[in-house]
A and B are shown apart, each in its own frame.
Chain A
Amino acid sequence: MLVSFKIQKFNPEVDAKPYYRDYEIELPERATVLESIIAIKEEIDGTLSFRCSCRSAICGSCAMRINRCAKLACKARVADEVNRHGSILIEPLQKLKVIKDLVVDMDPFWRMIEKVKPYLMPDPNEAAPERERLVDPSTTEDVIRNSLCILCACCHTDCNVAELEPGFVGPAALAKGQRYVADTRDGATDERLKSLSEPHGLWECARCFACTQVCPKGVDPRESIRRIGHLAYERGIRSDEGIKHAQAFLDSVKASGRLNEATLPLKTKGLGVVGMTPMALQMFLKGKVPFPIQRPVPDMEEIRKIFELTEKQR
């Protein structure tokens, strides 16, 4: 089939700014996007630059934006892209400096991965064991799922928060971090949880689920972030406003069966809520600030019972 490509090109040594070039090429039905750009490079434009290595979604080096979504070029099928979008638009990963065409500087991404100390740190007070440390079977799911990550940076560069807040540690690093907080061989769980709860840590995640959606390996970073939040809550690391928000939510449903929108800001932000006054006033004038004391839902007894029982189950 004859397929049209529009590919972003940029050579900082020559070009003032990035531009797009159109290509048309005859491809077999089963071609991947990577096979296509290799063919374009071989047959039409020898200057076209991109990274690739394994061609089988293992090395993570051919990540790029294909029809405005971060993907591995070796895993994306031309026919699927054409069916969904009609043609194929290829751009480098977002927010990373372009070295040439589709090749980006991955350094800021590696710095984020380094931040979560992606290696085991056994408890220094514990005597070295006679033989190797065994993985607890209950944590293998976390260890294995997060270890599937191939560091392609698809999730990090498509994350709706990292896109605008470069300080945000991002979904790939958080998923990596969860692999170590879940691993029973690690002895720095609380230290890790505190560091992951820092201002640009897990509570900056807006739950846009872009990471889970784009991950080519099924890591589900948002689920990993949820699990860090859960563990931080369980272990009493609750100073961030993000976790106070979750606590306030829980308390309000326990009290009335519903979310109490009027008390949530105060319980989340404490005195910091004062800074929100102009916005709150506008909302109040439009009747958008509900009365803080709300009637419980009918059959509230059932909900109280559910809270009691699930607390007992744990």
Chain B
Amino acid sequence: MRYAYFTGCVADKSASELDYSTRKVCEKLGIKLEKMESASCCGAGDIDEVNLDLSRALNGRTLAIAERDGLDVLTICNVCTLTLRKVNQDLKENPEALEKTNQVLAEIGMKYSGGVEVTHFLWVLMREFGVDRLKSYVQRPLAGLRVAPFYGCQILRPESRLGFEDPNNPKSLETIITALGGTPVDYAGKTKCCAFLISLAREKTASKVLGQQLWGAKTEMADCIVTPCPLCHLSLDAFQGMAEKELDRSIRLPILHLPQLIGLAIGLQPSELKLSRHVVGVDGVLAKIPSRVPAGPVPAAGS
């Protein structure tokens, strides 16, 4: 299992703990990640909004690099996933768009032929790696830990661009939480928006939206939230204070990146997952799971 690893800007900088923990977990699971050092930012919905041709050319270049290396692209961010998949789908299905993009790419000695798939770490675990296999790696089951899944919008909707699972009734995060020995918490906010993209331009509205989802998980007695997206993480964790102020309530809910939760269960140390980089402390989560990994057979990487 080998992928062109598209870190994305946020996981490269402010959420670098996500990049770090993803690499640690993949190393242990035997998933090989070839970092796309020269890839550009995907431009998120922003470049897509102001200049669609530019978005297609920038992301077309990223796809062409992966194609040249004969690898599919693995992302760890919902927004990168949707943006890259949208461009990829348009280039594959619209010959005019592909030709226009290739005219630009030709000038830098590149060409994209539509031979790459864009996937997300969560999907690779579910589909290519397999949940049963993940279960065999668990050394420190998260027994008694109530984990609220937070999918984030752009890994679910629109289904026509993503299509991995039913956006109204997704199961992947719950399946993984259960495989790790934890208890998934059900609440209405799990498929809703974190409002990250308007947190600067519409702070008050964003705080209301974010607050509702956090409070929903809190009232269901979650010990923590887990998310597959670094932007959701920033919103849920770093902007949690804004939501608390808007709701006039204390929430203090720890937010884990998906690979961090997996890392804890498969026996990695908190320091290897950089859990101390979160704004809301995760001590409550660590206190609930066994601190030592019980002795026993350890599956070999890649088995």
User: Do A242 and B201 form a contact, CB below 8 Å, given A207-B154, A213-B157, A253-B40?
Assistant: yes
- B279 at interface (Cβ–Cβ under 8 A)? yes
Asked if B188 contacts A253 (CB within 8 A), the reply is no
- One digit per residue, 1 when the CB lies within 8 angstroms of any chain A CB and 0 when it does not, for chain B 251-265 equals 000000000000000
Cα separation A201 to B61 with both chains bound (whole Å): 34
Let me know if B250 is at the binding interface, CB within 8 A.
no
Check if B295 is an interface residue, CB within 8 A of chain A. no
Determine if A206 and B104 form an interchain contact, defined as CB atoms under 8 angstroms apart.
no
Inter-chain contact A84/B169, CB cutoff 8 Å? yes
Instruction: Chain A residues near B12: list those with CB within 8 A.
Output: 258
* Contact of A67 with B by CB under 8 A: yes
Interfacial chain A residues near B66, Cβ < 8 Å: none
A21 contacts the other chain (CB 8 A): no
B167 interfacial contact with A, CB 8 Å: yes
Q: How far is the CB of A200 from chain B (nearest CB, A)?
A: 9
Interface with A: B112-120, B131-139, B202-210, B217-225, which one? B202-210
- Using CB atoms, name the residue of chain B closest to A67: B168
Interface size range of chain B in the complex: 35 or more
Taking the nearest CB of chain B, how far is it from the CB of A46, in angstroms?
A: 31
Whether B201 and A208, one on each chain, are in contact in the complex, defined by CB atoms closer than 8 angstroms, is no
Give the interface residue-count category, chain A: 35 or more
Contact A206/B198 with A246-B46, A259-B9, A290-B13 known, Cβ cut-off 8 Å: yes
Across-interface contacts of B277 in A (CB, < 8 A): 286-288
Report chain A residues within 8 Å CB of B48.
Answer: 226
Q: Are A288 and B238 in contact (CB under 8 A)?
A: yes
A279 interface contact, C-beta 8 A? yes
Contacting pair B205 A204 (CB below 8 A): yes
Residues A297 and B205 in contact in the complex (CB < 8 Å), given A161-B195, A306-B57? no
Report which of A209, A250, A286, A287 forms a contact with B153, defined as CB distance below 8 A.
A209
0/1 string, A86-100, CB within 8 A of B gives 1: 000000000000000
Q: Bound state CA distance, A299 and B109, in angstroms?
A: 12
Query: Given A203-B201, A259-B10, A303-B40, A164 and B212 touching (CB < 8 A)?
Result: yes
Q: Is the CB of B37 within 8 A of A279?
A: no
Instruction: Out of B39, B196, B198, B212, name the residue touching A204 (CB < 8 Å).
Output: B198
> Quick check: A307 and B168 within 8 Å, CB to CB?
no
Contacts of B104 in A (CB 8 A): 306, 309-310, 313
Pick from A253, A279, A294: contact of B58, CB under 8 Å: A253
Residues in A with CB closer than 8 Å to B45 are: 207, 226
A245:B201 contact, CB within 8 angstroms: yes
**Would you give the 0/1 interface string for A59-91, flagging 1 where the beta carbon is closer than 8 Å to chain B?**
000000001110000000000000011000000
| Given pairs A204-B198, A209-B157, A298-B38, 11 additional interface contacts (CB within 8 A) | A67-B169, A164-B209, A208-B153, A245-B201, A249-B41, A259-B9, A288-B279, A297-B38, A297-B40, A311-B54, A313-B104
Can you name 30 A-B pairs with beta carbons within 8 Å? A84-B168, A160-B153, A160-B209, A164-B208, A206-B198, A208-B157, A212-B158, A213-B167, A226-B45, A230-B51, A241-B202, A242-B198, A245-B46, A245-B200, A257-B40, A259-B44, A264-B200, A275-B203, A279-B241, A283-B14, A283-B279, A286-B238, A286-B277, A288-B234, A294-B13, A298-B37, A303-B61, A310-B51, A310-B104, A313-B100
Taking beta carbons and an 8 Å cutoff, which residues of A are in contact with B?
67-69, 84-85, 160-161, 163-165, 168, 199, 203-210, 212-213, 220, 222, 226, 229-230, 233, 240-242, 244-247, 249-250, 252-253, 257-259, 261, 264-265, 268-269, 275-276, 278-279, 282-283, 286-290, 294, 297-299, 302-303, 305-307, 309-311, 313-314
